[in-house]
Amino acid sequence: MAAQLHCADFIPPPGLANRHVQTLLPRLLPRRRLTWRAEILELPDGDFVELAWAMPDTVAEDAPLCLLFHGLEGGTRSPYTQELLATAAELGWRALVMHFRGCGTRPNRLPRAYHSGDTADAYWLIAQLAHRYPRAVKVAIGVSLGANMLIKLIAEQGGDGLDLSGAIAIAPPLDLSASADTLHQGFSRLYERHLLASLKAKVASRLEELPLSLTARELEALDSLRDYDDAVTAPLHGFEDVADYYRRASAGPLIGDLELPTLILHANDDPFMPPDLFDQLPAPGDAVRVEIARHGGHVGFVEWHDGLFGSWLARRVARQLGDWGRVTPQDAWQEPRRVSRSDS
């Protein structure tokens, strides 16, 4: 497995390498200013998702298109969404984010939500974009939960099942059970409590209409993401229990099956995941490039570049979009450097 990994060229600023500093720092830095155009995408089952298009939108029908899938409880307000889509737009790409059900400005219609392995809505959207923009190069980016979902979708659809030239998966929690355990330990519980508060607030407002055998008091007492997924996510979406959900929704076992060019970006010190994450997974296929940084936290990767704090993720994504915009997917991986685990 070690021979399949590559060193990411991310270097944290002096004194800012700590995993939690890197995770939290993007929220403290100046935000990229974006204007959004909203769109409601109707789904085959009668529900909907909200799309947000970065403006100004290009008018060229064949302009390349960058589609982002956000993380748990994320959306347009997430720092990474603003940074990555602003970067894509500046490169001349048509850029948008799909909000998972209930993550936009209004609750979704059906008595359900979204989860880490919920690929159907993304598949429907990509098909709609293929119909609208048949000549456009298209690249999908997934972040955290959205990255796990994207990898699972790519594995399900095979090499030619999606109108995508490539995919970028940032900090995917490829082993959901291990990630849930990691988030329930030490300082990482701060992130867990933040996510739980948002998730429980949404369910509390709809508890009477959801098919859950759960009282408001029981919902409030849920103390971990694992407990929440067992009491809410699993029964709401047809899983037997949390173990069944984590097993069936985790994309890690599928990375050896990916045929679409896929870049996976990961930090060894990600506080949402165990440090040996990739040691426990199968070797990725030839279409996959895994870049691992020693530092970076969870979707952090804040660097000092050209005299300013900035996003290494945005620079790395810009480079990849540039490569996929001018070469065939088979030639997309430039100058790979294979390293051992000790070097990463």
Place of tokens 């359900």: 112
pLDDT at residue 46 greater than cutoff 90: yes
Known catalytic membership, residue 62: no
The per-residue pLDDT for 60 is 84
pLDDT at residue 329 greater than cutoff 50: no
pLDDT in tens, 92-107: 999 999 999 999 999 9
Lowest mean per-residue pLDDT among 257-261, 270-274, 305-309 = 305-309
Q: Which amino acid is at 276?
A: D
Average of per-residue pLDDT across 307-328: 90
Residue among 116, 298, 311, 344 flagged as catalytic: 298
Closest CA to 297 of 198, 187, 167: 187
pLDDT in tens, 232-242: 999 999 999 99
pLDDT at residue 231 greater than cutoff 80: yes
Under a CB-based contact definition with an 8 Å cutoff, are residues 297 and 269 in contact?
yes
pLDDT at residue 336 greater than cutoff 70: no
Residue among 144, 179, 188, 311 flagged as catalytic: 144
Known catalytic membership, residue 298: yes
pLDDT at residue 1 greater than cutoff 70: no
Known catalytic membership, residue 70: no
The per-residue pLDDT for 146 is 98
Torsion of CA 140, 24, 75, 317, to 10 degrees: -20
Burial class (CB in 10 A: 0-12, 13-18, 19+), 61: exposed
Instruction: Give me the count of residues in the chain.
Output: 344
Give the bridge partners for 15, in sequence order: none
- Cα–Cα distance for residue pair 203/122, rounded to 1 Å: 23
Q: Which amino acid is at 154?
A: I
The per-residue pLDDT for 334 is 52
> Residue 325's pLDDT band (boundaries 50, 70, 90)?
confident
> Residue 296's pLDDT band (boundaries 50, 70, 90)?
very high
Residue among 270, 295, 311, 344 flagged as catalytic: 270
Give the bridge partners for 53, in sequence order: 37, 96
Under a CB-based contact definition with an 8 Å cutoff, are residues 166 and 262 in contact?
yes
pLDDT in tens, 135-184: 999 999 999 999 999 999 999 999 889 999 999 999 999 999 999 999 99
pLDDT in tens, 278-292: 999 999 999 999 999
pLDDT in tens, 149-162: 999 999 999 988 99
Q: Pairing mode, if any, of strands 302-305 and 308-311?
A: antiparallel
pLDDT at residue 32 greater than cutoff 90: no
Dihedral sign for Cα 269, 272, 274, 280, please.
negative
The per-residue pLDDT for 33 is 85
pLDDT at residue 3 greater than cutoff 70: no
pTM above 0.85, yes or no: yes
